[in-house]
Structure 1
Amino acid sequence: MIERLHKNTKIKIISLLSAIVLWMYVMAVVDPEDTKLYENIPITITNLNEIKDLGLVVDPDDNLVTSVYIKGKLSDLQKISANNIDVYGTVSNPIEGQNQLYLRASVNDKVTTEFKSDTIVINLEKSIEEEKNITVNITGVYKDNVDKVDLDKTKVVVSGPRSSVDSVKYVQATFDANKESVDTKSTELELKALDSEMNEVDHVTLEFNKVTAKVSYFQQKQVKINPIFSSNESNLVQDQDFTIIPSEINIKGKSDVINNIDSINTKIINVDELGTNNKIVDLDIPDGINADKDSVTIKLINKNKTKNSTFIYSGDDISLLNNEEDVSINDFEIPDDIIVKIQYDNNSDRISKNDLKLYLDLSEGIVSGTRYAITHNDINVKSITIEPSYITAK
């Protein structure tokens, strides 16, 4: 195979040299003409100042490029690139709306140019200015700690094509609260023109691109929980008679408000509703204050502090057992209040009203005028007195 390649070497060399000489002859002597297409050549509008003086701007969505055929000697075409081609356009008698842009190209004197079309249609829009309010968007991990952001300017003029300016619904300054702070500080915030879907709007100009912001933070402190009992139970002592979990909470607010607060009160607590079980109590948080908790858990721990409890029941609190005749509590003469008095001994835990259930046993049937004793579930206390102790069937 290799031996065959070495055969006729002189002939092959002569053929190659002949081809080179012929090509040089064609390029140097004959130099044939050719046509080449150049695409996406940008167009420069020559009377742009005239258009601006009329209060018009070119629609930013118009694609101001064209394609050019260039015809000339092959050697000249090889020297031309898209960067060497200048295309100019002129709008005669510009008006708002669609206009004809008349094209011409400039390359060099040795070639000729031709367009697929020597005119294109462009849209001219009215250039407008509109004043927009500046809004503030607070982001970041610590955004809830920011009280307010005051800007040195609250309005900005937006200019540009009518369609673009009309699409601007917000001019927004964003503050990123990425660091914890309690000190007031000043910073510069960049402005962005946004549409109704919070996307940035192109082809508009803002009167200024930045504003100075004064950022104020909420003050924070830890305060104790102050339980508020009904007046006759005010002698209860925390950690001796009851516990509160948590006993302190974190609050934040404006400095002039938070500096005057040393504790947060609970809603009024009726101790008769407390027992040794946990009870959730809402907090009475002042206006203008944020807290990390809105309720606490409280329970009694001193069994003997109060020897007695008094609960008031209504007819709706009484259950009907063995009610085979399917009567209702309304079939009985029910007093307005049923008073239940509890007496504790040293071995009994304090109970709440919810711990004590009242009921009527109707296993003997119901007869008009018959009195039925009000009974209760088993409770480990010294004594239970119910007044009245019975009710009468109608």
Structure 2
Amino acid sequence: MKKMLTNNLTLKLLSVVAAIMLWLVVMNIDDPYTYRDFSPVQVTMLNENVVTDQGKVYKIEDGSDVISLRVWGKKSILRDLNIEDFTATADMQKSIKYNDLVGIEVSCSNKNIRTADINMSRENVVISVEDAASEQFNVVVKQNGKVADGYMIGAALPEQSLIQINGPASVIAKIKRVEVEIKTTGVNSDRTIHGKLNVLNSDGEAVDTTYLEYTGKTDGMDVTITMLRTKTVSLTIGHTGTPADGYNLGTISYKPETVKIAGSSEKISQVTAIAIPDEALNIDGLTESTQQTLDITQYLPDGIRLADEADATVAVSVEIEKNQEKTLEIPVGRIGVQNVPKGYEVDFGDTETVEISVSAPVAELESLKADDVALSLNLEEYSKAGSYTAALSVTFPDSTYSLVQETEVAFELVKAGSTSSEKDKNTGSSDSTDSSGSTTGSSGSSTAGNSNSSTGTGTTGTGSGSDSTGSNTTGNNTAESSGSSSTAGDTVGENKKSDTKTE
């Protein structure tokens, strides 16, 4: 038996080796030893309190907490694996190196895969450690979308007006604005809308919030909104004061001329215009055109606001024009004489016209005519005959016009019936006596007076006195004479002139 086992031993050993190799070849062909890649695998940080207990925080640099794996094994085993079978951890308590490297360990839930069968793309998580910081920020509402036509959001109140954010000091320092963004497309009634939080830097760009913690809300906030009706109305602006002497107000213009206001339906229906009171714009004493700005918010009715706060400031342009001068000649006959003393009349002598100098803007001066101006002379302070010079009262069509200087006129105050004009016009002032002793009274004329009569009377002989007629141009009274008597009807005063011849 022994001889049989040892006979051709070498050949038998070679046969066994060949059989094993053939088996291995067959097995590799059927279920080969190979590898499979798994990515990405998230590394979980352990024992972070090692850093946080010191009042510090850490940041993972360059995404070094995400790795790739290459796993070796039988094809049949690898085929059944998935990424969830692998656990990658970095323990900050036992494997931190150089204060910025934390070693990575990977394990597989499949017992057929050993740690030695796993190759990692990196062996450490790179971290940076710095001081922790905490700060409070106002929460601002950002509206995203256009509300319904004719409406605007009157108030948008987040459920928290402040939010506290904790994290690395370098990240906290970058935060300049925290807003809650809500979608308001088509909104036309009061409601509550849930919005997301946005943390922004000074450039309005999003800040990486990976290492930030919020005290309170972390998944956004509710915002309660109140809707208002809108309406476009006109602006009206008055003024007080007048420009300096010799200057005139041209035009007042302003931008904008209309504004959009907002309020409740009840309030806004009562507003048709926004009136800026005259006191808001004072042009007193101005000698040149000027511009002013007015804040109109203080003049809005109760319960009304501007839809756009940019419309609060109105630019007002005031145009001031320097007046020009023009001289007008007006006949003295158009002077209205007032309060003439009883028994007196006014004589302007040889004066036919008076000149007045008018100041006004060019356009108004061109249209002004002498007939548009009224002159009057008030004699209330004059009671005795004599020569005088007095200022005329001048009335223009409107306040646009003004006198450059006072206009005076010379005149005489005389007894009624004694004016030089009367003497010139009395052409029949003498009597004639014929041979038969008759006397004829000639007609007499007077341009002024209350009642004038002229009488011709024959005192001797047989002659008869001819009729004499007296004419009063202002009193319309007529007196007739016959023989030695003369009667005047409808007389207002007793002012008689007699022409008598006696032998």
Report the TM-score, using the length of structure 2 for normalisation. Answer: 0.41
Q: Which has the higher contact order (CA 8 A, sep 6+)?
A: 1
TM-score (norm 1): 0.50
